[in-house]
Amino acid sequence: DTGVSQDPRHKITKRGQNVTFRCDPISEHNRLYWYRQTLGQGPEFLTYFQNEAQLEKSRLLSDRFSAERPKGSFSTLEIQRTEQGDSAMYLCASSLASGRMNEQFFGPGTRLTVL
Amino acid sequence: AQSVTQLDSQVPVFEEAPVELRCNYSSSVSVYLFWYVQYPNQGLQLLLKYLSGSTLVKGINGFEAEFNKSQTSFHLRKPSVHISDTAEYFCAVSERTGTASKLTFGTGTRLQVTL
């Protein structure tokens, strides 16, 4: 079990550029979540997938944000036309779906800085 | 919708002293409750969770928490802290019902342990 991995760990970009982040969940986990954490705040839910289906999106996920999980394994989060307000830590988590609430395992995050 | 309040943004404490980190929540439905810890430049790690049963739950690293339904609280305690406990601690809730399992986090409490 290698845990949840995220790539890149850090990304610096200029305002207006597009960025894409990748998340590889724990292999047998069928649920995958994206959260955003800004400085001094707790993580905020963005979206989640069960297998390849995107089941819920937060209102925080503007039209500039899109997430995919094409084969129910890894996921990508793309931000188009980045703004300075997008600067944050983007966290990915995975879990098993079952009748009881299962623990979400978090990756180390991707820290985005928009200049 | 749920919300989580962590009233203390920072808690300074001497090593080997006891500590309590407070968490209150608000929800119109029954919830599961969690405490996560975040060390610098790392993702979140689950400390403990309350799903059902005994209201006193024990977690890793000597931490425990007590669920109080009437006060809608889930305070985290440790009888004797260590320097290595210095970190950010997040309380989180998730709905029990339906398929949604996203976490709603508080703003975090920075535990600073000194000699």
Question: Does residue A36 register a pLDDT over 60?
Answer: yes
A72 has a chain B CB within 8 A of its CB: no
Question: Does residue B114 register a pLDDT over 70?
Answer: yes
Average predicted confidence (pLDDT) for chain B:
92
Tell me the pLDDT band of A103, cut-offs 50, 70 and 90.
Answer: confident
Question: Does residue A80 register a pLDDT over 90?
Answer: yes
Q: Considering CB atoms only, which of A40, A101, A109 is closest to B101?
A: A101
**A48 with B92: Cβ contact below 8 A:** no
Report chain B residues whose CB lies below 8 A from the CB of A100.
51
Q: What is the mean pLDDT of residues B27-31?
A: 87
Residue B76 distance to chain A (closest CA, Å): 17
Is residue B62 classed exposed, middle or buried when 0-12, 13-18 and 19+ CB atoms within 10 A define those classes? middle
B48-54's contacts with Cβ under 8 Å and 24+ in sequence apart are B48/B76, B49/A101, B49/A103, B50/B74, B51/A100, B51/A101
Q: Are A108 and A89 in contact (CB under 8 A)?
A: no
pLDDT at B48: 94
Question: Does residue B1 register a pLDDT over 60?
Answer: yes
pLDDT at A47: 95
Q: What is the pLDDT of residues B7-18, one digit of tens each?
A: 999 999 999 999
Q: What is the mean pLDDT of residues A38-58?
A: 92
Minimum Cα–Cα distance from A105: chain B residue:
B45
For an interface test with A, give the residue of B8, B44, B90 to mutate (most A CBs within 10 A): B44
Q: Considering CB atoms only, which of B42, B51, B105 is closest to A43?
A: B105
Question: Does residue A102 register a pLDDT over 90?
Answer: no
A38 has a chain B CB within 8 A of its CB: no
